Amino acid sequence: MERTKWIGKWVLSWIVFVVIFSIGGILFPMSPEVTAKIGVEDAKYMMLALVVVTLSISFLVNYLITSSNVNGVQLYGAMLVLTWGIQTFMTQVETMVFIKAFPDLDTFGVIKIIMSQLFIFALYLRIPILMYGKWKRNNEELKAALVLKSKWYLWIPAIIVAYVILYFSFGLFPMSFQATKEYYAAWISSTDAGGGLKLLFIQIVRSLLWLICIFPLFFILKGSKEKKIVLAAIVMGVFTSFQLMFPNGLMPPVVRFGHFVEVFSEMLIFGALIAWMLVPEDNKNLHNNQLKN
């Protein structure tokens, strides 16, 4: 019975998500140059992709909310960082790095994407939180438990190195396609001799921003280390890559597919590595003890 109720609430919240998503698309439309490149077949595929992407995101959102050990504003803020922060803000930082590869997209267009997704998630997230009765202030037994290794910050250099290796290693996959090489030809030709070092520095900074964005997961989530490793991997993999299922008028299908495989694989591993490095083995016992104190 409880599972049936949960599924019912999830489906209802998904319908609300689709409605809000559609309103966001109306309020923050893509440029005519971009929409003109989306053909009839792509438009049909977009509807299927919309269902798959919104179902996946809403499922994760509902699961994280019901698995959380915090309520109210703490939960809302954490979920906003986990969703909008990871899916939109961080991915659009990467878009800005390669903005010259998108002739139909400028800085204003990127800002519009960021703001449209902020509108969508800021509006949507309160709905499932209310549905599960988690908007109320925390009860005394529900305390935020940021359970990390005592000297977790010593793992930061390893996290940076791991991300840089994953980023440049998995980045080789989409570049193995001729279409991708041609697509980024303008960006490559505009890059000066120090472009490689600049890109390396940017990815070092992004690795730290990724860490900040995934932190709320360890702040709100109940459960063992293994559970947090799995969920960190899924959250990072799904939220960063599933939007690449959409024909977007910016990338040819081959380029988009290459980036989907690249980003999903890279972030799946990176999310798991962060949790493995930062969450202690006896996480469950530490969490239970903290709740008792």
Each domain of the chain, given as residue ranges in start order, spans: 2-137+147-292
Q: Is the pLDDT of residue 145 over 60?
A: no
pLDDT at position 1: 67
Q: What is the per-residue pLDDT for 290?
A: 45
What is the pLDDT, as a whole number, of residue 46?
76
CA distance linking residue 42 with residue 45, whole number of Å: 5
pLDDT band at 146 (very low <50, low <70, confident <90, very high): low
Question: Which tokens belong to 146?
Answer: 């940021």
Cα separation, 250 vs 253, whole angstroms? 10
Residue 175 pLDDT exceeds 60: yes
Tens digits of residue pLDDT in 67-96: 998 889 989 999 999 999 999 999 999 999
Residue 275: alpha-carbon gap to chain centroid: 16
pTM check: above 0.75: yes
Q: Do residues 191 and 97 lie in contact, with contact meaning Cβ atoms separated by under 8 Å?
A: no
Query: Out of 58-62, 70-74, 185-189, which region has the weakest mean confidence (pLDDT)?
Result: 185-189
pLDDT of 10 higher than 90: yes
**Amino acid 283: pLDDT:** 45
- Mean of the per-residue pLDDT values for the chain? 86
pLDDT at 142 over 60: no
Give the model's pLDDT for residue 293.
Answer: 43
For residue range 236-257, list pLDDT tens digits in order.
999 999 888 777 777 888 999 9
Q: Tell me, what amino acid is at 102?
A: F
According to the model, what pLDDT value does residue 141 have?
43
pLDDT tens figures, 204-228 = 999 999 999 999 999 888 788 899 9
Looking at the chain, the whole-number percentage of residues with pLDDT higher than 70 is 87
